Amino acid sequence: MEDNTSPAEWSPGFIGIGAEKSATTWAWSQLNAHPGIEMSQPKELNYFNQHFDRGAAWYRRHFSASPSGCLTGEISPLYMDCPFTAERIAATYPDVPLLVLLRHPLDRALSHLMHDAQNAYGGVANVTTAQLLRLAERDNKYSRRSCYAASLQPFFERFPRKQIGIFFFDDVKSDPETLLRRLYTFVGADTDFVPEAVDERINRTKDYRSVSIHRVLRGMSMTANSFPPSRAVMEWLYRNTQLRERTLDLLMVDGGRPDLTPEEVLPSEQLNAIREDLEKLSTRIEVPAAWRVSRESRAA
């Protein structure tokens, strides 16, 4: 179906801004499964933080022409990590709902570190605490992207609070179907639809049978996701990026996670920054009770 809406007149139905390693891939998958929602292809456009100079027409091309009444949306978890993303979204689409998924900040930092270790070493089962600590010391992104109060402040300053929907990773684990209905309600979709894979777990930490093949395929995927082609070429690349993900899954074996805590593998200054930010966040929004219990025990 042809969509004659100009880029200047068009607006996405919602934008997911983060946080990384907080079930955003799960959310994208569940939202995309809804017959009344068309998600961007690929998932992470990173328009407002990396590709803003390419213009609204470039952004619009990543959304298929949708039937009247069909919602469109995208999720780019790194939007929360960019200091000027909030200003750009507010200036371009001031009325767009913003979707936020948050995970316990210490758990998020640990998951992020494990993800990077997985890519660096081909798995995490045999990675030592010393290796993980050295990896964490190279970049403060593990704590910075877990400092939600600081990351959300620019959005709180520019958007009405009711326009920012905040959801929690805890609910993805405990009651995904109820959380999904809340997500559908927030974006304005029919809440009666339930995807078949609502309980599916995405982006598990795995080890790879072949580290070298994993790195080659990962590089191919990153190239496909960053290439700005025509619509037809983009869709072909997207389909083959998904093929790459399925191929990688065949190369993976269950590696599990080392029995580690954030305190063992994150530098003390990063741990302190996360805890201080969580205190600030708790004054702005209601965080899960488990976060408060965990925070107190970890600080002891």
List residues bridging with 261 in a β-sheet.
Answer: none
The sheet carrying 14-18 orders its strands as: 37-39, 71-75, 14-18, 98-102, 164-168
Report if residue 287 sits inside a domain.
yes
**CA of 200: how far to CAs of 13, 23, 27, 171, 176, in Å?**
25, 11, 11, 14, 9
Angstrom distance (rounded) from CA 57 to CA 42: 16
What total number of domains does the chain contain?
Answer: 1
pLDDT of 73: 97
Report if residue 235 sits inside a domain.
no
pLDDT of 260: 86
The CATH number of the domain holding residue 179 is 3.40.50.300
Angstrom distance (rounded) from CA 15 to CA 18: 9
Report if residue 34 sits inside a domain.
yes
State phi, psi for 165 to the nearest 5 degrees: -90, 115
> Strand, helix or coil at 16?
strand
> E strands of the chain, at which residues?
14-18, 37-39, 71-75, 98-102, 164-168, 207-208, 252-253
User: Can you give the residue range of the structural domain that contains 291?
Assistant: 14-106+141-201+268-299
Helix (H) or strand (E) holding 231: helix 231-251
Q: Please, what are the averages of pLDDT over each run of 10 residues along the chain (300 residues)?
A: 61 97 95 95 95 96 79 97 97 98 96 91 84 94 98 98 98 93 97 81 48 50 48 46 43 53 95 97 95 58
Report if residue 79 sits inside a domain.
yes
Report if residue 229 sits inside a domain.
no
Residue labelled with tokens 């936020």: 100
Angstrom distance (rounded) from CA 293 to CA 270: 20
Which DSSP category does 145 fall into?
A: T
pLDDT of 292: 80
Report if residue 160 sits inside a domain.
yes
Report if residue 78 sits inside a domain.
yes
Report if residue 192 sits inside a domain.
yes
Specify whether the CB–CB gap between 17 and 154 falls below 8 A.
no
